[in-house]
Amino acid sequence: MKNRFRLYRRTKGGVFYVHDSETGKQESLGTRDRAEATSLLNARNEAVRQPHLNLQIAKAYLAGTDSAVLRALRCFQ
């Protein structure tokens, strides 16, 4: 499967950007660190590739940062 987003770096400023191959839009990632930019790029491509996992991943991140969210999730189960 072809990746929807591509990573590039502009020469002026050195900030990394992503290019959406479907819409043609370009967006700044707001970082000059290649490792961080690659991580953000991979997250975007995975979100497109496996949309059914997005909610589960979001819940896992929220539960790790906010214990109130975890308690709220348990109430609904």
Mean pLDDT over all residues of the chain? Answer: 84
**What does the pLDDT read at residue 70?**
61
Three-state DSSP class for residue 27? strand
Whether residue 75 is predicted with pLDDT greater than 80 in this model: the reply is no
Angle at 11 between CA 49 and CA 18, to 5 degrees: 15
Residue 35 to residue 40: CA distance in whole angstroms: 9
What pTM did the predictor assign?
A: 0.69
